Amino acid sequence: MQPIQLTDALFRGAVSLEHGDGWAKPWRIPVAEYDLFPPGGIGGTAEIPAGVRLALVSDTRSLEVGLLPSGATTTLDCVINEELVSMAAAPPGTDRVPFSGLPAGNKRIEIYLSQTVPVRLTGLTVEDGARVVPVTDDRPRWITYGSSISQCTTAASPAQTWPALVARRNRLGLTCLGFGGNCHLEPMVARLIRDQPADLISLCLGINVQGGATLAPRTFRAAVIVREGHPGAPIAVLSPILSPPRETARNAVGLSLVDMRGEIGEAVAALRACGDPDVHYVDGLAVFGEAELPHLPDLLHPNAEGYAHFAVNFQRAVVEPIFKGAR
């Protein structure tokens, strides 16, 4: 087998890489600024590589991903030319994950990394004599921000999260900033979004703020007014999806999900009235509402099938009218 160097250019969807003794670990924050993203690097979720993938063009018929063994099952997906062709659930202690039987000829290969556990990679190998060239990526760059509903720990596999499904369907260069339990509109995350290359942005806001009572009516709408950088790039601002116990029940600071949808809508309307027509409000219930309730087993998180529905509805509510209208 022929080793391929784990350079920064091989990674897509990572904000930074941490390098150790023979390993590289992707992060979804600048790891050198870890202490600026409390608590513990966005609650310990930014080290989980949701949406991160290795990308190369090669004629290899097989490849192998090297891992630093961990105590958790690590799921990886192999995607060829946007099609999911193989899934591998590596049990605890695994140090190599092979993918074989790949199609002949040159093809774009993407290995989606786990959306549930951190991953430290020790290598990537292809067949001896196989050609490997860097990916030339002219895809529109899409950043999506949100909670566990965007990190998608309950999706069937890394390439079957709703952001991954939408990105593959529309040939978008995905950076997923879904931080489970930690979507609280932190200023440093807003600055991170500002500083990342982006042609398209979506923000799924509200559920963690409501659950944690971390912003009150006095401060929530002000935090939603988020345009800085990326002039002209469309921003789709989604209010919370359905969560029946939280729809009308107010939290400790007096906000229900119904209240939050109103606050988010008014914040977006204010931005548009002040001359920013590229910010768009999307009702979260149009993406995941009463029709999808059978796929919301804990009344908060979609299940694997639910995320497929989420992707289809996001396509209709966001991609077609907002993203494609801007391209």
CA distances from 141 to 198, 316, 320 (A): 5, 19, 16
> What is d(CA 187, CA 203) in angstroms, rounded to the nearest whole number?
14
Instruction: Give, to the nearest 10 degrees, the angle between helix 162-170 and helix 304-314.
Output: 40
Share of the chain above pLDDT 70, in %: 99
Within 10 Å of residue 129's Cβ, how many Cβ atoms?
Answer: 8
Q: Is the pLDDT of residue 217 over 90?
A: yes
How many CA atoms does the CB half-sphere of 222 hold within 13 Å?
6
Q: Is the pLDDT of residue 19 over 70?
A: yes
* pLDDT at residue number 226: 65
Q: Are 273 and 227 in contact (CB under 8 A)?
A: no
Domain segments of the chain: what residues? Answer: 2-133, 141-326
Read off the pLDDT of each residue in 2-9 and give the average, rounded to a whole number: 91
> What is d(CA 267, CA 286) in angstroms, rounded to the nearest whole number?
19
* pLDDT at residue number 327: 52
Write out pLDDT tens, residues 140-194: 999 999 999 999 999 999 999 999 999 999 999 999 999 999 999 999 999 999 9
In the block, tokens 């090297």 appear at: 66
Token output for 46: 């930014």
Q: Is the pLDDT of residue 280 over 80?
A: yes
> What is d(CA 206, CA 175) in angstroms, rounded to the nearest whole number?
20
Reported CATH class of domain 2-133 = mainly beta
Write out pLDDT tens, residues 264-274: 999 999 999 99
Q: Is the pLDDT of residue 138 over 90?
A: no
Q: Are 53 and 13 in contact (CB under 8 A)?
A: yes
SS3 (DSSP) at 281 = strand
| 288: DSSP letter | S
Read off the pLDDT of each residue in 53-68 and give the average, rounded to a whole number: 97
Could you tell me the pLDDT band of residue 67, with boundaries at 50, 70 and 90? very high
* pLDDT at residue number 136: 85
Token output for 106: 């040159």
Read off the pLDDT of each residue in 93-108 and give the average, rounded to a whole number: 96
Q: For domain 141-326, which CATH number applies: 3.40.50.2300, 3.40.640.10, 2.60.120.20, 3.40.50.1110? A: 3.40.50.1110
* pLDDT at residue number 324: 87
